[in-house]
Amino acid sequence: MSVITLTNIRKTYPLGKQEVVAVKDASFSIEKGEFAAVSGPSGSGKSTILNMIGLIDIPSAGSININGIDVYKGVNLEDAQVQDGRWASDPKDKKKRRTSIPSKLDKRITGLRRSHIGFIFQTFNLIPVLNVYENVEFQLLLNSKGQDAKCPVDDFSKKQKEEWVNYLIERVGLSDWRTHKPSELSGGQRQR
C-alpha cells in the first residue's frame, strides 16, 4: 500500500499580475519502507512538493493521499489557495479576501500531521526560551490534545510521558544537554 500518493498535483503562486507555476501535474507514489528523494535544479518545485506532502502548503489542483486518506476530499482547490499562511477564498480577488481554513479540513490536516507525518526543516524551529527537555515535551503535549487521529502517547500517564521525553533525549545523545537552551547547542545538536 502507498503511504503517500500525489495525483496530478499543481501549485501556482501569484506574482504581480502573472501566475507562476511552481509544480505542474506531478504524480507519484511512495510505498511503505521505500526511500524516495526529490531532486532537481533550483526553482524546480522541490520544496513546494515537500511542503505539500508535509501539509504545510495546499496544492492548487490534484489530490494527495496519506496512508489511504484523501487529504483534500471535498475541497475545491481551484477556488482555495493559501496566501501568506492564510486561506484565501478567491486568490484572484484584488481585495485578497481571506477566511479561516474550514474547520473540518483543519482538523483533518492536523490529525494527519500529528499521526502520520514527520518533517525535519532546514532551520531548526526550536523554541528559544525552552530548554531541550521542554522543547521535546512541548511537542508531546501538542500531540496529546485529542485531535482526529489518536496519538500513541494520548493514554500515557504524566510519569510515562516524562520517561518518554527522557528516552527520546537519550536516544539522540543529548542527555547531558537536557537543561540547555537551543542557543547553547551546536547546529548538529539542534537538528537532533
**Between helices 132-142 and 158-171, what is the axis angle to 10°?**
130
Q: Is the pLDDT of residue 20 over 60?
A: yes
Q: Which one has a higher pLDDT value, 118 or 144?
A: 118
Give the confidence band of 89 by pLDDT, cuts at 50, 70, 90.
very low
Report the Cα 90 to chain-centroid distance in Å: 24
Q: What is the DSSP letter of 102?
A: P
Sign of CA dihedral 184, 185, 191, 192: negative
Q: Is pLDDT of 177 > 60?
A: yes
CA 8, CA 39: separation in Å to the nearest integer? 18
Q: pLDDT for 28-51, tens place per residue?
A: 999 999 999 999 998 889 999 999
Alpha-carbon distance values, 82 to 15, 38, 113, 159 (Å): 14, 23, 17, 40
Q: What is the pTM of this model?
A: 0.67
Domain layout of the chain by residue ranges: 2-102+111-116, 132-191
Which grid cell is 98? 481571506
Place of cell 486561506: 87
The CATH number corresponding to 2-102+111-116 among 3.40.50.1950, 3.40.50.300, 3.40.190.10, 3.40.50.2000 equals: 3.40.50.300
